[in-house]
Amino acid sequence: MSKSHSINANQLTLLQNAAAYFPAVLADIKAAAHSIYLETYIFAPDATGREVANALIGAGLRGVSVRVLLDGFGSAALPQSWLDELHKAGVQVLWFRRGFMFNWHRHRLRRLHRKLIVIDGEIVLVGGINISDDGSSASQLAPRLDYAVRVQGEQALLVQAQMRHLWDMVRWASLRHRVRGMQHLLVETIRPNLHKKLHWLWRDNVNHRREIERAYLHAIAHAHHEIIIANAYFLPSQKFIRALQHATQRGVRVVLLLQGRVEYRVQHYATHALYEKLLRAQVEIYEYQPSFMHAKVAVIDGYWATVGSSNIDPFSLLLAREANLLVRDSGFARELRGSLLSAISADAQRISSADYANWGWHTQWLSKLSYGLIRMALGLIGVARR
């Protein structure tokens, strides 16, 4: 693990990539004495998934209360035999919106994209890392760039309450008690305090619809020196783009570390459609090259930082359930900033205005077409903003 940061009686440890994350996850699960809550978008039936499943089974057999909430689309490949093993060990598993994802009804597109684990109400792990292998392949020569944070302290109880809240909602929905479930949903009305040293940013479809985007916009609007954003799927609103433009006009350095490899073609090329406007505003754009980048983090003025599951795109900011940790601490922010600058220096290619021009009309046309297709899709499901 990297160094620990003491913030308001909580110990925070930044974990970079699966190589640091899963040893911490497995050790905490194996040490659990009372309870484990786990939420994830992808629980893959691979070697990493097997290790985590075995650890959960061991905890269940020890008498630990284990509750696992899986997204019905992202974890659809998990075989029934694994679920039977978990159930036999006393592990409770629920599904969030199990079924076909590509449906024009907006409520069917809402996904559980959070990656959260709480152990004994004392330890919480939050970030962007799914439970899946992160090895190299023919098209990926290195592990994905991704981050998580391990928090030990009183903050874990707040996260556990949120996770139990969602667990109860899903359980009631599965029993068709939808009215009672909605009444329970409306209980949580806490507004974010963006000046606390530690704050949890939630994105749901009731009381926290815009919380993550608003936190970003607030921090960008008050930036004095530097904004560094690393985001895997970057397709922000026009309001977000204007905020970055205004920051550069104030003399703030704005750095974007984005996906360099094509993972999802339409989304990848749609992001390119924004490059001309961003480059014209003097935003520095870097594309990560060694592997797919999965990070969803940012550092502003070496003091404000966020790590979590939320991309800066319409699907995360308008449709999915997300969770980010906001940290206002120079020590933690400095460590994350150093990691990002190292990745930019060693493994990223800067995109200049000349590079963009040299891509040619066909690539620029494909980018604009992809952007238009996404905007059209969002309009059809009723979430696009003019």
List, for residues 125-162, the tens digit of each pLDDT value.
Answer: 999 999 999 764 455 567 889 999 999 999 999 999 99
Q: Which strand ranges, in their side-by-side order, compose the sheet holding 147-152? A: 4-7, 10-16, 147-152, 123-127, 116-119, 35-40, 65-71, 92-96
- Nearest CA-CA partner of 14 in 348, 321, 331, 346: 331
> In the prediction, which pLDDT does 66 show?
98
> Are the C-beta atoms of residues 323 and 114 closer than 8 Å to each other?
yes
The fold adopted by the segment(s) 194-381 is Endonuclease; Chain A (3.30.870)
The whole-model pTM stands at 0.90
318-321 contact pairs (CB < 8 A, 24+): 318/209, 318/378, 318/383, 319/106, 319/109, 319/110, 319/111, 319/383, 320/110, 320/111, 320/112, 320/113, 320/203, 321/96, 321/110, 321/111, 321/112, 321/113, 321/114, 321/166, 321/202, 321/203, 321/204, 321/205
Q: Where are the domains of the chain?
A: 4-184, 194-381
**347 catalytic residue (yes or no):** no
**120 catalytic residue (yes or no):** yes
**294 catalytic residue (yes or no):** yes
Q: Which is catalytic among the residues 30, 87, 120, 133?
A: 120
Domains 4-184 and 194-381 alike in fold: yes
Q: Which is catalytic among the residues 5, 208, 272, 296?
A: 296
Q: Which is catalytic among the residues 294, 313, 329, 347?
A: 294
Give the separation between CA 85 and CA 155, rounded to whole angstroms.
Answer: 32
Q: Which is catalytic among the residues 28, 134, 301, 313?
A: 301
> In the prediction, which pLDDT does 107 show?
53
**146 catalytic residue (yes or no):** no
- Which tokens sit at 278? 């961003």
R_g of the chain computed on alpha carbons: 20
Q: Which is catalytic among the residues 5, 28, 115, 204?
A: 115
> In the prediction, which pLDDT does 208 show?
81
Q: Which is catalytic among the residues 113, 199, 208, 272?
A: 113
Helix axes 360-381, 265-272, angle to 10 degrees: 110
> In the prediction, which pLDDT does 53 show?
98
Within the chain, which residues score under 50 in pLDDT? 1, 104, 106, 136-137, 177-192, 384-386
Q: Which CATH architecture has domain 4-184?
A: 2-Layer Sandwich (3.30)
**165 catalytic residue (yes or no):** no
**113 catalytic residue (yes or no):** yes
